[in-house]
Amino acid sequence: MDAFVIEGGQRLDGTLRVHGSKNAALPQLAAALLTDQPLTLRDVPELADIQNMTKLLADLGCSAQRDGDAIRAQTQDQSQVHARYDVVRTMRAGICVLGPILARRGRARVSMPGGCAIGDRPIDIHLRGLEALGAAITLENGDIVAEVPGGRLRGATVFLGGPFGPTVLGTANVMSAATLARGTTIIESAACEPEIADLAKLLNAMGAKISGAGTPRVTIIGVDELGAADHRVIPDRIEAGTFLCAAAITNSDLRVTNCPVDALLAAIDRLERIGVHVEVENPSDPFRATCRVYAERSLRPVEISTQPHPGFPADLQAQFMALLTLADGNSVITERIFPERFLHVPELSRMGAKLMRQGATVVVTGVRELVGAPVMASDLRASAGLVLAALAARGTTIINRVYHLDRGYERLEERLRGVGAKIERIDTSAVSESAAPMITVRPIGEPAHA
Ligand code: EPU
């Protein structure tokens, strides 16, 4: 198991390039199951979740090979319809294969994704949407078993809103399935996330007829078949937001390229109020912009409520909490998408943050400084928040269990080191986690199990 050792207090200087979006690429890879023709996706980050998705595709008769930053996927065998627990449990996005298999093969058996560290994550709305398209769904031995009587889904009007707003992967699932349905589907209360608009762009390039993606009402006119496509995945807005916070929390002046500012307006609005300036240097391409980011001397407290897009993203809540621990006064953060997603709170407190949680709200009282400590990464974005806090803290922080972070940020330590951060990856497998501070730091570039 790897850990990060971070020596805080360094100013960062230079340029960070944002990689392609993990959350856009995952349902796009699943879309390869909708056709026998080849699909090429470009700027796909090299992450554990992406690898797991290619493993899942292989189990389902679709080979997916990496070539540099691209993945080429092609379905060869349609006989397999079972997405097994051992892969689906590793990543919730495994559920994205359900709609495509059902639409193309007429039946599917997909393991129920388990619970996860950020709270209860049901899939009832996915299933309701697919049932509205004509699927008969039952639960057997922890698997979702779905059949389409007659073999082909039929278009319908589907409402995908839930108690916490629309569902992102549910919209991806139903939209993908509806591309091959007989007739027209209207998704009402669809998720408006940029990852949904990008998925629709890919599906349309494959021959689908989707309009309105990126708005709450999406219309899909079903077609008989889909074909080949070559598509570049949008940049990762959450990685970009994390980099903007990295500049702000270390009081640095950084350049961030391939930055999807247009997808980050709520986060940039909060940054400006906090006293962090994001200057777009090439406004002609607001989805792949170059930004200069720098902060004022003292940071102002703000109120943040996470919301579905275009509101403030839940996936940046932990990173902004880390930033606000150093603001001048009291900030209030309310989590409206995943009310339990606060595992970073006790860890940040170990570093000297003053946080008071009540239900889905945390009051962050700014402190003068954070101090390094051994902490535990618990989920992907919580880990990113801890890295940010560690970059600003006085002294050394050890972040254990960074495999969570590796699910969503490619080689983060190398990239941060490239702009001046003092951060190393160490292998803690030989020693207990409590002993991690004692172990030797592996030289940069040496493989984990050398
Ligand atoms: N929900 C239901 N029923 C459903 C589906 C969702 O009640 O059938 C609830 C959820 O429990 C949650 C809310 O609706 O309270 C929104 O969940 P959503 O379905 O939109 O989440 P998701 O699609 O499973 C994606 C991202 C998450 C991101 C959320 C919200 C991927 C692979 N995952 O999850 O990303 O937090 O949307 O924006 O795209 C991450 O990258 O770290 C991550 C967790």
Residue 240 above 90 pLDDT?
Answer: yes
Find out whether the beta carbon of 121 lies less than 6 Å from any atom of ligand 1. Answer: yes
Q: Which atom of ligand 1 is nearest to the CA of 124?
A: 8
* Banded pLDDT at 118 (limits 50, 70, 90): low
CB 397 within 8 A of CB 8: yes
Mean pLDDT is lowest, of 112-126, 132-146, 221-235, 312-326, for 112-126
Give, for 345, the enclosing helix (H) or strand (E).
Answer: helix 344-350
- Burial (CB < 10 A; 0-12, 13-18, 19+), residue 368, is exposed
Q: Which atom of ligand 1 is nearest to the CA of 380?
A: 42
Please identify which of the residues 116, 192, 245, 259 carries the catalytic annotation.
Answer: 116
Q: Is the peptide bond between 100 and the residue preceding it cis, with omega within 30 degrees of 0? A: no
Please state whether 171 falls in left (phi above 0), alpha (psi between -120 and 50) or beta. Answer: alpha
Find out whether the beta carbon of 124 lies less than 6 Å from any atom of ligand 1. Answer: yes
Q: Which pLDDT value is given to residue 375?
A: 97
- What are the structure tokens assigned to 168, written together? 């992102």
Find out whether the beta carbon of 167 lies less than 6 Å from any atom of ligand 1. Answer: yes
What gap in Å lies between CA 267 and CA 313, rounded to an integer? 8
- In the chain, how many H helices and how many E strands? 14, 26
Find out whether the beta carbon of 122 lies less than 6 Å from any atom of ligand 1. Answer: yes
Task: Tell me the best of 21, 91, 337 to mutate to test the pocket of ligand 1, counting ligand atoms within 8 Å of each CB and taking the most.
Answer: 337
Q: Which pLDDT value is given to residue 441?
A: 41
> Is residue 116 among the annotated active site residues?
yes
Residue 85 above 80 pLDDT?
Answer: yes
